[in-house]
Amino acid sequence: MSEITINELEAAINFWRTRSPASGDELSLCKEASALSKPYALMIVQRQASLPADGLDPVARDAWEQYRRAIQG
């Protein structure tokens, strides 16, 4: 699989946040945005510009793949 840049990951998170806004009193993210936010946060802390797509856990990988299919039409 290819590398995912931090900008691409942020765009995927924003896609999911738009599609399924935070909900409840605690404003919880949808499962897809939540799954993608974990590797995004690690990339920020570790100052990484990208990560391998196959390094995502299954939920995050599924969210990423659904996002890619949606933007490709």
Smallest Cα–Cα separation from 60: which of 11, 14, 13?
13
* pLDDT on residue 1: 56
Q: Which residues of the chain have pLDDT under 50?
A: none
- Domain span at 23: 3-72
Q: CB of 50 within 8 A of CB of 40?
A: no
**Global pTM value:** 0.89
CA distance 33 to 9: 10
Q: 3-class SS at 28?
A: strand
* Total number of domains constituting the chain: 1
pLDDT at 27: 79
